[in-house]
């Protein structure tokens, strides 16, 4: 078995119908429905147009910092709607990709990228309309030597992503929804969204009960000092 330089076939991925429903939900509500235990961390920020929501099945790539040979291969392998997730170790010395690779990906119908590393051509990427999360920007270009892996599990800030898992990203950041739990998490996140809509309506109507704040402070033993 080859270690560290291999390309695997992705055997399954989240259904398009689930992707469509998750894309309508705030990442914060999805995260809350997963006990707030899964997140890609604040380092990865959006580099796409404001209002863009990134959602789709993960096509995973692990590569050494500053090398994008396997990212090129992932673009060639990608299916429409995929999110290419690249674990490049978070290094910002060399960019992993720029506008040319984005245009190649758009021709394949790729939904977007998650790059735990740097990108370049940031203005062009933002104008392209593709979803893009990255750890930073640098003008220094990449190498194309390998090694790397495609469709192996990757980890970004302790968030483990398997091939075919659901990636959802908005202005608050990213979350990975495990494929096998996606349906149950969707039900919980949609319920939370409905409850939040009801609560906001009550606030705007001036009909909200805030007594829970004092009750909780009392149970915590707060002292009021004049």
Cβ atoms within 10 Å of 191's Cβ, excluding its own: 12
200 annotated binding-site participant: no
56, with CB counted inside 10 A (0-12, 13-18, 19+), is: buried
In this structure, are strands 83-87 and 166-170 parallel, antiparallel, or unpaired?
unpaired
Orientation angle between helical segments 69-77 and 99-107, nearest 10 degrees: 20
141 contacts 120 by C-beta, under 8 angstroms: yes
Q: Among residues 33, 68, 42, 58, which one has the least CA distance to residue 146?
A: 68
Q: Is the peptide bond before 147 cis (omega within 30 degrees of 0)?
A: yes
Q: For residue 68, what are its two tokens?
A: 């994008």
- For tokens 């990906």, what's the residue? 105
Alpha-carbon gap, residue 112 to 81, rounded angstroms: 8
Strand partners, 95: 118
Taking the mean position of all CA atoms in its chain, how far away is CA 86? 11
Residue 220 is labelled as binding a ligand: no
100 annotated binding-site participant: yes
99 in a labelled binding site: yes
37 assigned binding-site residue: no
32 annotated to bind ligand: no
Known binding site for substrate: residues?
98-101, 120
In the annotated binding site, the residues are 98-101, 120-121
Q: Which residues are annotated as a binding site for Mg(2+)?
A: 121
């Amino acid at each position: 078995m080859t270690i560290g330089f291999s390309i695997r076939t992705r055997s399954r991925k989240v259904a398009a119908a689930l992707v469509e429903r998750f894309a309508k939900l705030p990442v914060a509500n999805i995260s809350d429905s997963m006990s707030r235990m899964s997140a890609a961390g604040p380092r990865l920020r959006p580099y796409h147009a404001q209002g863009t929501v990134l959602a789709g099945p993960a096509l995973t790539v692990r590569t050494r910092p500053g090398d994008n040979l396997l990212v090129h291969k992932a673009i060639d392998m990608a299916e429409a709607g995929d999110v290419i997730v690249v674990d490049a170790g978070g290094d910002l010395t060399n960019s992993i990709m720029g506008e040319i690779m984005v245009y190649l990906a758009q021709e394949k119908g790729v939904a977007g990228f998650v790059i735990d590393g740097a990108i370049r051509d940031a203005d062009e990427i933002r104008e392209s309309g593709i979803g893009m999360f990255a750890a930073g920007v640098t003008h220094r270009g990449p190498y194309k030597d390998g090694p790397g892996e495609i469709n192996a599990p990757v980890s970004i800030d302790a968030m483990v992503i398997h091939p075919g898992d659901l990636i959802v990203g908005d202005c608050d950041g990213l979350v990975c929804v495990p494929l096998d739990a996606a349906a149950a998490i969707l039900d919980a996140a949609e319920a939370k969204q409905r409850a939040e809509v009801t609560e906001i309506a009550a606030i705007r109507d001036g009909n909200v009960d805030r007594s829970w704040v004092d009750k909780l402070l009392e149970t915590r033993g707060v002292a009021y000092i004049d």
